[in-house]
Structure 1
């Protein structure tokens, strides 16, 4: 976005990042970190960093790809911190007080929770490909661009990641 002076309007661009990609970035961070508050912090850091680095954007990818790459890198950095390693990983499901909540909805919530717990335990190289493919619905080509790896590596990690997730779910008695 260019202002009347022919310069990059960083504020307007940041607003469009938040509006157009904010939810996607939060979802990626949450699936990666499995902690809502921490994922919101990561996204905030990414948006601040993107604002300050807009002049350095090379236009060799889309803004969305650039922001997703920054989010994944920020999540990786966050998980390396000592404080993150000492957080009790499992968060309890919210207590169900609503008497109108159906059993199916409760089972669906529990299933989704178990899936995200097991996904979070996968090695980063599998977790990030699965998140981008299934949750963000990126193509293999887009994933290749975001992660800066070749197309065949994406395919391989996707297959191995699915197998690893299936094995974890079977061991947790989630699936048969």
Structure 2
């Protein structure tokens, strides 16, 4: 006698529909699924772990408030990633303006370590992340999305609003720029780790915010 097949797990889009129909607690499932991805992508833009976490919380809250406008013309993954990227770029732009104003009003001082410098305790991971962070923004974002996070070409195209050829060209160029330094040592899944404690903090903060 054959065992009955297990029902397929609900898709992201089905979970969104259930949330909109009153099952608010299911939003936690979506956050836990995408936390690592969003953290890595935001880190590739802002290079500040604390700010990346704050951006994630803002992106999740904004996405929740806009769930009713999610038309499923693209995947929930892509839609959420776009919100995260927009918030990350906005924060980076603000920070650059502030840094520029500060540099114009104060004497130049020696560059201080970023939070990323103190985040990693393994020498290899530190070298790899620093190498990735030297890439120009447009190459770094594609590299992190495709190679570190494993997003598809189509997802990357939609999230960044660029063509397929641009995704491939930027990824190839990013690899060329990294190859000499990294050689065969990089381990993409170890870059920009996002542990369970951080995951819980983000989820709890957002769920408290949306339950108010």
- TM bucket (normalised to shorter chain) is 0.7 to 0.9
Per-residue CA deviations over 1:137-163 (Å, capped at 9, x if unaligned) read 112222112222111111011111222
- Give the conservation status (yes or no) of the 8 Å contact 1:78–1:84: no
CA–CA separation in structure 2 for the residues paired with 1:10 and 1:84: 41
1:150 aligns with 2:163: yes
Root-mean-square deviation (CA, aligned residues, Å) is 2.9
- 1: distance between equivalents of 2:22 and 2:97? 36
The equivalent position to 1:61 in structure 2, one of 71, 74, 87, is 74
Match of 2:51 among 33, 38, 53: 38
State the distance in 1 between where 2:20 and 2:45 align. Answer: 36
Q: Which residue of structure 2 aligns with residue 80 of structure 1?
A: 93
Q: Is the 8 A contact 2:44 2:133 kept in 1?
A: yes
Gaps of 5+ in 1: 96-105
Match of 2:28 among 15, 18, 23: 15
Gaps of 5+ in 2: 1-14, 100-110, 186-212
Contact 1:33–1:120 (Cα < 8 Å) also in 2: no
* Residues 1:146 and 1:77: Cα distance change in structure 2 (over 3 Å): same
User: What is the alpha-carbon distance in structure 2 between the residues aligned to residue 42 and residue 12 of structure 1?
Assistant: 21
Count of residues paired in the alignment: 156
Distance 1:110 1:85 in 2: 32
Distance 1:144 1:114, change over 3 A: same
Which is bigger in relative contact order (C-alpha 8 A, separation at least 6)?
2
Q: What TM-score comes out, normalization by structure 1 length?
A: 0.74
2:149 to 136, 148, 167: 136
Does the alignment pair 1:117 with 2:130? yes
Counterpart among 108, 114, 119 of residue 90 in structure 1: 114
